[in-house]
Amino acid sequence: DPITTPDISTCVASTKGFEPKGAVRTNACCPPTLSKTVKDFVFPNDRATRIRPAAHRASPEYIAKYKAAIQKMRDLEDDDPHSFVSQAKIHCAYCNGGFTQYKHQDKELQIHNSWLFFPFHRWYLYFYERILGKLIDDPTFAIPYWNWDNPAGMSLPDFFEEGGKENPAFDAYRNSSHLAPAIANLDYDGTEKNYTCIKQLSVNLGAMNKQMIRNAGDWKSFFGGEYRAGSDPIGNKDKSVGSVEAGCHTAIHRWVGNSRLPNGEDMGNFYSAGYDPVFYVHHANVDRMWKLWKDLGIRGHIEPPDNDWLNASYVFYDENKELVRVYNKDCVRLEKLKYDYQFAPIPWKNSRP
C-alpha cells in the first residue's frame, strides 16, 4: 500500500536524527491544529504560469519583491500556518520522527532516502510559493532557484547575505567560509578540498553528469527505492537513495550549514534546514532537476510506474489555510500546477567525469 501521511493529530515532538544538546532550533515541530477537516486537492485555475527565475540573474525589482514576501512571512505569529516558523517546521515534522504512518502508528515516517523525496519536496515548495504570493498579493509570484549546476550560478546568491540581520533572507547559521564568491562543491563530504576554480567547476559538472545521466538511467536510480506503508524508513546509507538526493542535494545542505554547530544548523540537518531561506531556493533547483531529467528525453527517464508511488500522499496547509491532501500522481505535470522554470543552459550534459 502507499504511504499515507499524516494524521496531524498524532504528531509528537521530533526526536530523531539530531543531537538535542546544543540544538539551536526547537524540536516542537507539529503543525497548528487550526483545521480538522482535510480537503482533497484541486488543481489551481491561475491564469498565468509562475516562472521561477534563476537566482543569480534575477532583477533588483524581483529580489525586492521576494524579500518583501519573506518579511511578511516572518512577521506572522508563529502559530499561523503561513508563518516562517510553521513553514520551517514542516520539514522537521516529516523528517525527524514527528509523524507516524497512517494506520501504522508504530512506524516512523521519513520522506527522505526513498522515492518520496522528489514528490514530497515538490508539494512543499508548491504551497510555500503560493503562500508567499498570497502574502504580497501577487498571484504570479514564483520563488527563485539556485542555479548551482551552472558555472554562472555556483556560488551562494548575493541576496541571501547582503545587509545582514536586517535582510529577511539572511540566516545567522551558515558556514561563513562558504559564502560568495566561494564556489559550492557539489561533491562536498564535509572536508575542504581547496580546489582551483577550474578544477571545482569540472568536479561539479562531472558530478551533475553522473547524477543526471550516467548513474540515473532508470526511475529507481534517480528517484530512489520503494517505500511502502508499514515498512521502516530506509537508512541513509542504503543504496536506493536517488542519485541527486544522495549527491548534489546533500552536498549543498552540508556545504551551506555551519559545520561548527552540533547539528550543522541550519541547512546541515533535516530538523533545522527549513529555517534558512536558502533551503527553498536550493530545493527549487533540486525540483528543476526532476524536470530536466524528464526533458532529456532518454529512454527509462520516467516516474515510478507503481501505484504505491502514484498514490502516496501528504497533508499541507494551502494558501487559504485549509488542510489539503495531495498525491504524488498529481505533481508529475508542472503545467497542471501552473509553474515552470526559467531556461538556463545545462553545461553538464556532455561533461564526462
Q: Give the binding-site size for ligand C2O (rule: CB under 6 A).
A: 9
State yes or no: residue 249 binds ligand C2O (CB under 6 A).
yes
- d(C-alpha 34, C-alpha 138), whole Å: 25
Q: Give the one residue of 89, 91, 174, 288 binding ligand C2O; rule: CB under 6 A.
A: 91
State yes or no: residue 253 binds ligand C2O (CB under 6 A).
yes
C-beta of 95 vs 203, nearer to ligand C2O: 95
Q: Which of residues 276-295 bind ligand C2O (CB under 6 A)?
A: 283
Write out the catalytic residue numbers: 91, 112, 121, 249, 253, 270, 283
Smallest separation (angstroms) from ligand C2O to the CB of 283: 6
C-beta of 91 vs 338, nearer to ligand C2O: 91
Q: Residue 278 burial by CB count (10 A; 0-12/13-18/19+): exposed, middle or buried?
A: buried
Smallest separation (angstroms) from ligand C2O to the CB of 37: 27
Q: Which of residues 187-246 bind ligand C2O (CB under 6 A)?
A: none
Q: Which of residues 92-131 bind ligand C2O (CB under 6 A)?
A: 95, 112, 121
Smallest separation (angstroms) from ligand C2O to the CB of 305: 24
Side-chain-facing half-sphere of 339: CA atoms under 13 Å: 26
State yes or no: residue 82 binds ligand C2O (CB under 6 A).
no
Strand ranges of the sheet holding 313-317, from the earlier edge strand across to the other edge: 38-40, 323-327, 313-317
Smallest separation (angstroms) from ligand C2O to the CB of 138: 26
Smallest separation (angstroms) from ligand C2O to the CB of 106: 23
Residues near ligand C2O, by CB under 6 A: 91, 95, 112, 121, 249, 253, 270, 273, 283
